[in-house]
């Protein structure tokens, strides 16, 4: 037991602007674009770029809201802290924090599927993908446990590799640019395109594309490990989103220029970029691009693991979760109990749900979170509390539009994701009620003994 004189181990400020931007870009780029572009083509045909554009607009407005909130409140447990500051309700702070945590867990589970599909298809044919998923999750947990500096270094390496992979896709596809009609909305079934612009199909593809943009919000949950967070956090969010938007626009055009929507959705939409490179540049060994894709996918899971463990740590320190989840390992300076908890839950989710269902569920959960974040900023700004110096500020219309856009995109989520959401969220609410009940019971017991 730690004595009163022994200082509690604390998180270290290891992120500068460059490593924080790499962290953000590495989290945004990765599993979504590498694993879901085939599924998106199945929704909107050659107009994959339109789905990514819709997703970017929604993410950009909320990203600007995060920039101001991150500058105002640079603490771990970001979204939970924002909601608590705006509404002064601990139960709402818990619920928002739980939703962010849940989104990370569901995302990691989706990534495990994408990793297993690339590894089995390119390097280990015939190996059961469920075994690969479990081993993958254990490996990511081990890196996260090792330390934030090691996780950050691994993130930088993975980011460089995944960016190199996307650049490879763009370069090998350049001779094919302009070879198809990018306004052709014919889908995987080969049906003729609808007259006019099929907005609902674009919105459906936008929900999947939105999964590819998530990750910038993770920066808010490592705020206590960022040097000069009021300055560096907003910059990193904006830069990360801008870089991702450029890559996604080019890669989406590259993919449909080389392969038809029917080809992109073949094999259940798995390994889409691997098949693009195999067609456009057959001279590149399939094993080489498989390794690149594996690094990219690993990066997304790694950043989500770091985010989830820091979020549990922050919520525990605010008495929203059991204190054990707030423990920091004395030797590794990492929230090790939170890491163990995440590993167990992601194993269950990975085995229980399919890739596209996990991705859509992640998008829905974060759309709800983003709505609350935007509303929180509106409430804080309307209080006209502008006394703090050095805070990044955005106009009021930014969070207003951000809130409206998140609701609009959420309307296009498919029923299966709604069912997953309806099961997982009440489970979190029940956990909160049980924990608060235990705390209240123990508190009454202590007063009674006194």
pLDDT tens digit string along 18-48? 878 877 887 788 788 998 899 999 889 999 9
Distance CA 199, CA 185 (A): 10
Lowest mean pLDDT among 109-118, 138-147, 336-345, 387-396: 387-396
Domain membership of residue 210 (yes or no) is: yes
Band of pLDDT at residue 62, cut at 50, 70 and 90 = very high
pLDDT at 82 over 80: yes
Residue 5 has pLDDT above 50, yes or no: no
Return the minimum-mean-pLDDT range out of 126-135, 161-170, 245-254, 315-324.
315-324
Least confident of 213-227, 357-371, 395-409: 213-227
Q: What is the pLDDT of residue 112?
A: 93
Spatial CA neighbour of 20 closest among 233, 266, 172, 274: 233
Q: How many CB atoms lie within 10 A of CB 60?
A: 19
DSSP 193: P
Please give the Cα distance from 145 to 309 (Å, whole number): 10
- Compute, in degrees rounded to 10, the torsion defined by CA atoms 16, 18, 21, 22: -110
- Could you tell me if 180 and 256 are in contact, meaning their C-beta atoms sit under 8 angstroms apart? yes
* CA quadruple 357, 35, 103, 40: dihedral sign: negative
CA nearest neighbour of 356 among 239, 233, 270: 270
Is residue 11 in a domain? no
In a domain, 183, yes or no: yes
Residues 12-23, mean pLDDT to the nearest whole number: 75
Decide if 266 is inside a domain. yes
Stated pTM of the model: 0.81
| Domain count for the chain | 1
pLDDT recorded at residue 266: 83
CA distance 268 to 271: 9
pLDDT of residue 251 exceeding 90: yes
Output 62 or 96, whichever has higher pLDDT: 62
Beta-carbon contacts of residue 126 (< 8 Å; ≥ 6 apart): 120
96-105, 218-227, 305-314: the lowest-pLDDT one: 218-227
Please tell me the distance from the alpha carbon of residue 348 to that of residue 370, in angstroms, as a whole number. Answer: 26
- Asked whether residue 167 carries a pLDDT value surpassing 60, the answer given is yes
Mean pLDDT of 361-388: 87
Q: What is the mean pLDDT of the chain?
A: 83
Whole-angstrom Cα distance, residue 7 to residue 24?
31
Among 19-33, 271-285, 428-442, where is mean pLDDT lowest? Answer: 428-442
Alpha-carbon distance of 291 to 302, in angstroms, equals 16
Choose the most confident range, by mean pLDDT, from 35-39, 53-57, 143-147, 265-269.
53-57
- Give the residue with greater pLDDT, 182 vs 15: 182
Q: Establish if 191 belongs to a structural domain.
A: yes
Crossing angle of helices 31-44 and 90-122, in 10° steps, is 90
C-alpha to C-alpha distances, 272 to 32, 146, 293, nearest whole angstrom = 11, 32, 10
In a domain, 9, yes or no: no
Domain assignment present for residue 246? The answer is yes
Q: What CA–CA distance (Å, rounded) separates 296 from 27?
A: 9
447, part of any domain = no
Burial (CB count within 10 angstroms: exposed 0-12, middle 13-18, buried 19+), residue 141: buried
Residue in the block written with tokens 């979170």: 369
* CATH number of the domain enclosing 222: 1.20.1740.10
| Domain carrying residue 208 | 17-441
Identity of the highest mean pLDDT range in 91-100, 294-303, 375-384: 375-384
Q: What is the CA radius of gyration of the chain?
A: 22
> 3-state DSSP call for residue 226?
strand
List pLDDT tens digits, range 207-226: 999 999 988 887 776 767 77
DSSP code of 267?
G
Higher pLDDT, 427 or 54: 54
User: What pLDDT is attached to residue 189?
Assistant: 47
Among 60, 127, 137, CA closest to 308: 137
């Amino acid at each position: 037991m730690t004595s009163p004189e022994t200082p509690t181990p604390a998180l270290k400020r290891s992120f500068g602007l460059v490593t924080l931007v790499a962290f953000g870009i590495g989290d945004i780029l990765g599993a979504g674009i590498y694993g879901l572009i085939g599924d998106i083509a199945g929704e909107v045909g050659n107009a994959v770029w339109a789905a990514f554009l819709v997703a970017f607009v929604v993410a950009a407005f909320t990203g600007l809201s995060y920039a101001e909130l991150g500058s105002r409140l640079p603490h771990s447990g970001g979204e939970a802290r924002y909601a608590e500051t705006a509404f002064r309700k601990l139960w709402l702070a818990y619920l928002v924090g739980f939703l962010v945590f849940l989104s990370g867990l569901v995302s990691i589970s989706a990534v495990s599927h994408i990793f297993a599909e690339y590894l089995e298809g390119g390097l280990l044919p015939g190996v059961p993908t469920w075994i690969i998923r479990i081993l993958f999750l254990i490996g990511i947990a081990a890196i996260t446990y090792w330390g934030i500096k090691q996780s950050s270094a691994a993130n930088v390496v993975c980011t460089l590799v995944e960016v190199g992979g996307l650049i490879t896709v763009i370069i090998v596809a350049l001779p094919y640019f302009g070879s198809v009609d990018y306004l052709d909305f014919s889908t995987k079934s080969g049906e003729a395109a609808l007259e006019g612009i099929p907005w609902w199909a674009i919105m459906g593809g936008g929900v999947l594309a939105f999964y590819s943009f998530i990750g910038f919000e993770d920066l808010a949950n490592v705020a206590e490990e960022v040097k000069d967070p009021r300055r560096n956090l907003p910059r990193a969010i904006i830069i990360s989103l801008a870089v991702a938007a450029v890559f996604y626009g080019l890669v989406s055009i590259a993919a449909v220029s080389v392969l038809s929507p029917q080809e992109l959705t073949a094999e259940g939409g798995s390994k889409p970029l691997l098949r693009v490179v195999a067609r456009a540049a057959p001279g590149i060994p399939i094993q080489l691009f498989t390794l690149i894709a594996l690094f990219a996918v690993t990066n997304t899971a790694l950043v989500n693991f770091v985010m989830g463990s820091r979020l549990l740590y922050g919520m525990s320190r605010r008495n929203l979760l059991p204190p054990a989840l707030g423990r920091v390992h004395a030797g590794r300076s990492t929230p090790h109990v939170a890491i163990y908890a995440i590993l167990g839950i992601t194993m269950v989710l990975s085995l229980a749900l399919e890739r596209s269902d996990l991705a859509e569920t992640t998008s829905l959960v974060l759309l709800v979170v983003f709505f609350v974040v935007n509303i929180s900023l509106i409430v804080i700004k309307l209080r006209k509390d502008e006394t703090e110096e050095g805070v990044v500020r955005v106009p009021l219309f930014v969070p207003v539009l951000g809130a409206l856009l998140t609701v609009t995109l959420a309307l296009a989520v498919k029923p299966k994701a709604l069912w997953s959401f309806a099961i997982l969220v009440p489970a979190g609410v029940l956990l909160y009620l049980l924990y608060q009940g235990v705390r209240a019971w123990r508190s009454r017991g202590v007063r009674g003994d006194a």
